[in-house]
Structure 1
Amino acid sequence: MRVQSEAVSVTDEGSQIAGDLVIPPGAGEIVLFAHGSGSSRHSPRNRSVASALQDAGLGTLLMDLLTEHEDAMDAMTGEHRFDIGLLSGRVTAAIDWLGAHPATADLPVGLFGASTGAAAALSAAAERPERVVTVVSRGGRPDLAGDALRLVRSPVLLIVGGDDPEVLQLNREAADLLAVPHRIHIVPGATHLFEEPGALDEVAEEARDWFVSAVEGPGTPS
């Protein structure tokens, strides 16, 4: 069997959101990526992590969270990148789309959120607890999920750079509000974008192991 790869479109309240779906043969889980502020499904960092997940036999869906018009407006004004309600609604719509798509309807869903996308992913996980099995945040702003943090029902992995102290503190404060098993993984010497040699590789490895363990059996991913 070949890897299934297709460009997809998700509708959310009349807006069309573009995505790239990749499903390796025998995939037992699909990971939906929620990018951070000012980014898109073409983010090289998210695509690098997605490639590692695909190599491990996990399906991936990288989505734009804004329409082309919204993205153009956001580039000028920044008005949408911190609109967690809008972004989480788009992630939720994508989760529902996966549930209706024949190739992914039976697959459990993991969420991978970066920067503000982490807040969107956690909020969406709270909205769809029956579909989302786990959430991973990379350099995320989980604090922006607000009250939704207390409603998340799946394990959460928070990956933060060791040289990103402000975001690390925000992640620790957000973790205290989670009522589910969770872990903070600190990548030593990494800054917010994990541009240091080996930093993004460590992110990919940690995320891969977390997602794989989420569907291998009961218990908390480690």
Structure 2
Amino acid sequence: MIVRQSTSFLAAGVPLEADVVVPDSAVGVVVFAHGSGSGRRSPRNRHVAAGLQEAGLATVLIDLLTLEEERAESMVALRFDIGLLASRLIAVTARLSACESLAGLGAGLFGGSTGAAAALVAAAERPDIVRAVVSRGGRPDLAGDHLTRVHQPTLLIVGERDPVVIDLNREALGQIPGPSRLVLVPAATHLFEEPGALDQVTALAGAWFTRHLPAVS
């Protein structure tokens, strides 16, 4: 049986809308940290989430900005406010155990673009909750000094035809002390819009999370 629900998580008193899917016998839960211009209804994020669910992972697709904030004139600045996004992501991951369907599951973070930076900051701040991180076309450089405190297994996925982001991820790879890996998806550009590119991202992320999220017995 698959549990599906729309809910909200409170982050410093701010309600953040989320879609939660929990497959039967889930081995972990993955919270999505969306990048600039994206959200829980993004077709790309939902495509990856569906693949993770098939791999036995629960998913939480959440909007880290409210509808009012998305409409505000300051919206662009908020999307790049890594501190704000990370603080809300931390609040969400801390509340996962309060959800009956998610209680006891190891948590991972999947971040795209600026959301990847927020995910890495959250991992550095809450190693007691976050067990693994996957970045898709991310900007880990925006996590700053927090990179040196990320000890969780971290997978950085970048399109082969995204040279600037490749360089940024290679630099970040050298700063992360935990077990980390950089994978280039052949012929893919920044948004992984090429045929089969997003499927490769999903397969890589699924393998990473199913390996690192289950509790070690």
Deviations 1:140-162 (A, max 9, x none): 00110001111112110000000
User: Is the contact between residue 73 and residue 79 of structure 1 (CA under 8 Å) also seen in structure 2?
Assistant: no
User: Is the contact between residue 64 and residue 85 of structure 2 (CA under 8 Å) also seen in structure 1?
Assistant: yes
Q: What is the aligned partner in structure 2 of residue 50 from structure 1?
A: 49
1:62 corresponds to 2:99? no
Q: What is the aligned partner in structure 2 of residue 181 from structure 1?
A: 179
CA shift, 1:217, in A, is: 7.1
Give the secondary structure class of the aligned counterpart of 1:195.
Answer: coil
The CA distance in 1 between the partners of 2:149 and 2:40, in whole Å, is: 27
1:84 corresponds to 2:82? yes
CA shift, 1:216, in A, is: 5.3
The CA distance in 2 between the partners of 1:90 and 1:14, in whole Å, is: 10
Higher relative contact order, structure no. (Cα contacts within 8 Å, ≥ 6 residues apart): 2
* Equivalent residue letter for 2:61: L
1:37 corresponds to 2:36? yes
CA shift, 1:197, in A, is: 0.8
Alignment of 1:1-222 (within 5 A): 2-73=1-72, 77-215=75-213
CA shift, 1:105, in A, is: 2.1
- Relative to the length of structure 2, the TM-score reads 0.96
Give the secondary structure class of the aligned counterpart of 1:45.
Answer: helix
The CA distance in 1 between the partners of 2:23 and 2:41, in whole Å, is: 19
Which stretch of structure 1 is more off in the superposition, 76-85 or 137-146? 76-85
Count, aligned residues: 216
User: Is the contact between residue 158 and residue 171 of structure 1 (CA under 8 Å) also seen in structure 2?
Assistant: yes
Give the secondary structure class of the aligned counterpart of 2:205.
Answer: helix
Q: Quick one: structure 1 residues 12 and 169, their matched pair in 2 at CA, closer, same or farther if it must change by over 3 Å?
A: same
User: Is the contact between residue 108 and residue 213 of structure 2 (CA under 8 Å) also seen in structure 1?
Assistant: no
Deviations 1:102-142 (A, max 9, x none): 22121000110000000000101111101111000000001
Q: Quick one: structure 1 residues 73 and 56, their matched pair in 2 at CA, closer, same or farther if it must change by over 3 Å?
A: same
Question: Any unmatched runs of 5+ in structure 1?
Answer: none
CA shift, 1:201, in A, is: 0.7
The CA distance in 1 between the partners of 2:36 and 2:18, in whole Å, is: 17
